[in-house]
Amino acid sequence: MSTKSVLIVGSICCCFACGDDDDDDVSQPPICSPVVPCGGDIVGTWDVQSFCLPQDAAEIALAEALPPACDDAFVSADATPSAVSMVYNTDGTVGMSGVVNLHNEYRFTEACLAALSPETPNLSAACDSVIAGSFSGIQFEDPDVWELDCVESGGACECDGTAAVDVSSTGTYTVAGNAITTGDASAAYCISGEQLTLQAPAFGGDAVAQRRVTQPR
């Protein structure tokens, strides 16, 4: 069975875009391109290098939707795989291993925090509450995985949310035409030359993920 390397350009609902090991310029587009399905031989080991996230990744990491006053709170989101690989076996079984490190940036303005908690007297008090993890309006979907570090700066509470997600799993898969089904999720995919593009629900959410995988030359 062959070994390939995956460059998944940057979820919790995410779009994965990948290229090859020798690529020096790995950019992360704001929106991942849709997969054009063409099928191909998926059997082998695929080493994930990077992947792209959708524009709303930082937002959907939170347990509840924020009010309109917080529409500008979601600055950015990125994810970096650490020794992540996928193995598609000839017997129809599939395994995934490794860790994905997530990093979301937020900027909660005074107006946003006031809309979430009108009783909080000022920005400093609100930001202190966010930093302490006791601000009820800002909670992650999986608080045991995420950590939030914040500072008060420029009239806002600026925060970095980080999480290390173990994506190890095993299961079965089937291929029909240009689609691969794993569990309940069916994904369009395409292997063209040295690249595989796979569109599928990402870990932690129900958006699509786009993966591009590079085979060794």
Q: pLDDT tens for residues 127-143?
A: 888 888 788 788 898 88
**From the centroid of its chain, how far is CA 102?**
7
Query: 113: domain range?
Result: 3-214
**Least-confidence region, from 25-29, 70-74, 105-109, 157-161:** 25-29
* pLDDT above 80 for 8: no
Q: How far apart are CA 13 and CA 208, in angstroms?
A: 6
- pLDDT for 80: 85
- pLDDT for 202: 54
**Least-confidence region, from 66-75, 147-156, 196-205:** 196-205
Quickly state the pLDDT bin for 212 (edges 50, 70, 90).
low
Task: Name the domain count of the chain.
Answer: 1
Take residue 54 and report the two structure tokens written for it.
């959708």
Q: How far apart are CA 41 and CA 215, in angstroms?
A: 12
* Gap between the terminal Cα atoms of the chain: 15
Quickly state the pLDDT bin for 35 (edges 50, 70, 90).
confident
- pLDDT for 52: 66
Closest to 70 in 3D by CA, of 58, 82, 53: 58
